[in-house]
Amino acid sequence: MHVTGDRRVCVGAGQCVLAAPDVFDQDEDHGLVLVLQEEPGDDQREAVDHAEAACPSGAVHVD
């Protein structure tokens, strides 16, 4: 699993952080997404899928 967060389209809503706090964070200046783990373990799969679904701007991608 490979996770990306596109900071060009992120609107700082924070839904990804709520869904998967071990994988996502937001920067302090603009609240834009930071990916803490680009290759999270399978134990994070459900949380990351929730983050992808919850993101209002389509910034979270999971391959």
Give, as ranges, the residues between 15 and 44 that touch ligand SF4 (CB under 6 A). Answer: 15-16, 26, 33
Answer for which of 1, 14, 49, 50 binds ligand SF4 (CB under 6 A) is 14
Please give the Cα distance from 8 to 49 (Å, whole number): 20
CA neighbor of 42 nearest in space, from 57, 23, 25, 24: 23
Answer for which of 2, 11, 21, 61 binds ligand SF4 (CB under 6 A) is 11
Chain residues binding ligand SF4 by CB under 6 A are 5, 10-16, 26, 33, 55-57, 59-60
